[in-house]
């Protein structure tokens, strides 16, 4: 044993790798050790984070976002159908807005279409009803005119309230006119001209004795007034169709609360 130890020490001294300039080859670099240790730390941190994310309760909490930033990835069938119909409505309304401005395909007929729309406005009808009421001398005529005035006032209030609730804009950026501001007809849904035209046509068909050609012309007038609002770009197609429905419902409401002749005479005497 004592003789083998000097021989091993002599071999170590004669080994080239044991020289000072080659010692770095026999020892691992300090940077490598640090990188390995940092890699192990990162992997342990990643494993801890993965273990945390595997917890469903914590994952739900981490994924909670504000409602306006969330996107519904699986919309319902009703939502898809509603959005599709809404897109079709907007597209068709823009195509039918042929008189929306002077540069449109039917821009030259815009004045005539606006004049047709005025025939369905509330202010001329209220003014005409008041004039006829003053000049009327029969009890039956005064009864019909007073209920017609009530129907016109109800139409303005109901349509203005529904428009304030819906606040839907038209297909084109067209500002309302002065008469529209007077009747608070500033939004698109429902179309006030359409509801008024439908209510008036139904009212006259029920309470006036008219020949068949006049009855047909009255219905055509109501349809033309309603769709003229689409042509000038103020309303969508669904706004006009809903206006026709609300106009009919308003007529039914007036029929339910119909004022008798005595009530009308009392109101006229107060006025």
User: Any idea which residues carry the catalytic annotation?
Assistant: 193, 235
Alpha helices, H only, 18-109: 23-26, 30-54, 56-62, 77-96
Q: Which two tokens stand for residue 86?
A: 């809404």
The residue assigned the tokens 């996107």 is 71
**Strands, E, within 129-258: which ranges?**
none
Count of beta carbons in the 10 Å neighbourhood of residue 180: 19
- CA 120 to chain CA centroid, Å, is 26
CA nearest 27: which of 37, 39, 40, 17? 17
Angle at 84 between CA 79 and CA 87, to 5 degrees: 125
Contacts of residue 267, defined as CB under 8 A and 6 or more positions apart, other chains included, come to 146, 259
State how far the Cα of 246 lies from the Cα of 179, in Å rounded to an integer: 21
Helix axes 139-166, 261-270, angle to 10 degrees: 80
Cα atoms in the Cβ-side hemisphere of radius 13 Å centred on 47:
6
């Amino acid at each position: 044993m004592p003789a083998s130890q000097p021989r091993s020490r002599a071999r170590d001294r004669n080994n080239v790798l044991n020289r000072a300039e080659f010692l770095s080859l026999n020892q691992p670099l300090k940077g490598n050790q640090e990188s390995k240790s940092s890699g192990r730390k990162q992997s342990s941190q990643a494993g801890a984070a993965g273990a945390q994310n595997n917890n469903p309760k914590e994952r739900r909490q981490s994924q909670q976002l504000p409602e306006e930033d969330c996107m519904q990835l699986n919309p319902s069938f009703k939502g898809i159908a509603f959005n599709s119909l809404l897109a079709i409505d907007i597209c068709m309304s823009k195509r039918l807005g042929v008189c929306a401005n002077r540069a449109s395909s039917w821009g030259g007929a815009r004045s005539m279409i606006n004049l047709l729309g005025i025939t369905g406005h509330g202010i001329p009808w209220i003014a005409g009803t008041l004039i006829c009421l003053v000049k009327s001398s029969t009890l039956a005529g005064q009864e019909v005119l007073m209920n017609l005035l009530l129907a016109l006032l109800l139409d303005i209030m109901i349509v203005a309230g529904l428009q304030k609730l819906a606040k839907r804009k038209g297909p084109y950026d067209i500002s309302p006119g002065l008469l529209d501001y007077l009747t608070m007809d500033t939004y698109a849904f429902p179309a006030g001209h359409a509801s008024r035209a439908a209510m008036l046509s139904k009212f006259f068909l029920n309470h006036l004795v008219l020949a068949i050609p006049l009855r047909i012309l009255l219905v055509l007038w109501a349809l033309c007034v309603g769709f003229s609002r689409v042509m000038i770009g103020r309303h969508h197609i669904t706004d006009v169709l809903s206006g026709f429905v609300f106009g009919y419902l308003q007529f039914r409401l007036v029929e339910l609360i119909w004022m008798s002749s005595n009530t009308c005479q009392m109101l006229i005497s107060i006025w």
